[in-house]
Amino acid sequence: MMTAPTLPDERVLMKGNEAIAEAAIQAGCDAYFGYPITPQAELLEWMARRMPELGRAFVQAESELGAITMALGASAAGARVLVSSSSPGMSLMAEAMSYMAGSELPALVVNVMRGGPGLGSIGPAQSDYFQATKGHGHGDYRVPVLAPSSIAEAIALVADGFDLAERYRTPVILLADGILGQAMEPVDPHFRSLPPRHDDWSLSGADGRPPRVVRSLHLRPEDLEVHNDHLGAKYREIAAHEVRWVGERLDDAEIAVVAYGTAARVARTAIARAREAGLAVGLVRPISLWPFPSAVLARLAPRLRALVVVELSAGQMVEDVRLAVEGLAPVFFHGRTGGMVPAPDEVLGAIRRAWAITSDREVAS
C-alpha cells in the first residue's frame, strides 16, 4: 500500500505508519534510519521509497543499534532525523537514547508498541510506558514522550515532536501502538512543514571557527554534576511548559477514566455507554506521557469518587496516576496484555465496579 487513495472530501485514507512517515517528510526530515520490525515495517518501507526520491538520506541499518546510532551521527551533523521501531527494537536503542540525551542531540524516535516482554507478540500493546517515560537507557535523564490517539493526531505530533526535540536539544519519543500503526483512517493530507533545522553547535568541519565536540563524557565528577544540573534544569523547564492532555466530559464527572492512545478510544466508547446509563463519567487523556499531567489529576481528584485507569498493559501509567493524586481519590485499574484490547463493555464493567465500591465516598463539591 504505497499510494493513499483520495476521498471525495479531499481527505485521504492512510495507514498510521505511512502517515507518520509522510508527516515526517513534510516536516522537513533530512534523514531516516530504521530496521524492519512488525508492526512498524510500513514506516521504513514508505521512507525507503520517498526519501531517495527527495534526495534525502535513508539507510536500512544492520540493527536497531546501528539505526539509532546513525541517527546520533546525523543529528550531531545538523540533520533533522527520524528513527522508528517497535518494542524489542526499542530495547536495543536504549544505549544510544542515553548517549543522545547526554550529548543533547535532537531526534524523533517512533515506537509502534507490540506485546512483550521478550519477543512477546506482534499485537498492539502499551507495555513500553515504563521504558519510554522512566529513562529507557542508563543515567539521569528524561525524554519527552508524545502519545497520539488517532492517525490525524499522530501526524500533528510528528511536527510537534521535531519542534520539541530541536528547541530543547533532546530526543523525543512518539509512542504509538500496533493498532495506530496498522489502522487506516481518513486524514487531511496538508501536513505541517517546519523551517530547516538551525543551531550553532552541530558539526560541519572546523572551517574558520574553533573545533566543536559533541559528547556525553565528562570524566571529572565535578564536571558531570554540572552537566547533570544543566540537564535537570532543562527537564524542569520541559515539565513546566510542555504538558499536554485533553479532558472530555469532566465538568460534572464523578469518575474520571485516565487512558492514552488506543486505550483512550475504547474508554471514550465505554464512557458514552456509562453516560447513557446515568453515570457521570469523563475522560482524562494524557498526550504527553512525560511530562505527565500530574497537576491536572491532583486538581481533579478531590471532587471525584474515583479514577479508573485503562491501559493495554499490566498496569504502568497507573503508577503515575497514583503518584499524582496522592491518595486524594481511589485509583482503579483495568488492563489487557499480550496484544489483547479490552472491549468497551469490559471497561464499562470496570467503571461500574468503581462506582459501586465508592458509593459512600464523600467528595469535595
* Cβ(306)–Cβ(255) below 8 Å: yes
* Cβ(254)–Cβ(301) below 8 Å: no
Nearer to other proteins, 62 or 237 (CB): 62
Q: How far is the C-alpha of 7 from the C-alpha of 3, rounded, in Å?
A: 13
For residue 231, state whether it binds other proteins (rule: CB under 8 A): no
Q: Which residues pair with 275 in a beta bridge?
A: none
Out of 66, 189, 247, 349, the residue judged to bind other proteins by CB under 8 A: 66
User: Cell numbers 492517525 correspond to what residue?
Assistant: 151
* Cβ(351)–Cβ(308) below 8 Å: yes
Nearer to other proteins, 30 or 177 (CB): 30
Which residues contact residue 343 at a Cβ distance below 8 angstroms, ignoring those fewer than 6 apart? 266
For residue 299, state whether it binds other proteins (rule: CB under 8 A): no
From the list 62-70, 112-120, 121-129, 249-257, the region that binds other proteins by CB under 8 A is: 62-70
Contacts of other proteins in 118-177 (CB under 8 A): none
Cα→Cα distances 164→23, 80, 158, 215, 360, Å: 15, 12, 10, 21, 45
CB of 80 to other proteins, least distance (A): 9
What is the dihedral sign for C-alpha 218, 221, 224, 226? Answer: negative
User: Cell numbers 498493559 correspond to what residue?
Assistant: 313
For residue 194, state whether it binds other proteins (rule: CB under 8 A): no
For residue 76, state whether it binds other proteins (rule: CB under 8 A): yes
From the list 72-80, 283-291, 296-304, 338-346, the region that binds other proteins by CB under 8 A is: 72-80
Nearer to other proteins, 81 or 258 (CB): 81
User: Cell numbers 492512545 correspond to what residue?
Assistant: 261
* Cβ(46)–Cβ(23) below 8 Å: no
Nearer to other proteins, 98 or 127 (CB): 98
Nearer to other proteins, 33 or 332 (CB): 33
User: Cell numbers 554540572 correspond to what residue?
Assistant: 226
Cell of 333: 485499574
Nearer to other proteins, 201 or 225 (CB): 201
For residue 6, state whether it binds other proteins (rule: CB under 8 A): no
Nearer to other proteins, 198 or 362 (CB): 198
CB of 48 to other proteins, least distance (A): 14
Q: Phi and psi dihedrals of 30, rounded to 5? A: -90, -25
For residue 240, state whether it binds other proteins (rule: CB under 8 A): no
Cell of 331: 485509583
For residue 30, state whether it binds other proteins (rule: CB under 8 A): yes
For residue 75, state whether it binds other proteins (rule: CB under 8 A): yes
Nearer to other proteins, 83 or 289 (CB): 83
CB of 52 to other proteins, least distance (A): 11
What is the dihedral sign for C-alpha 47, 111, 146, 75? Answer: negative
Of 327, 348, 320, 142, whose CA–CA distance to 245 is shortest? 320
Out of 195, 196, 211, 278, the residue judged to bind other proteins by CB under 8 A: 211
Please report, as ranges, the residues that interact with other proteins according to CB under 8 A: 30-31, 33, 57, 59, 61-63, 65-66, 69-79, 81, 95-96, 99, 103, 203-208, 211-217
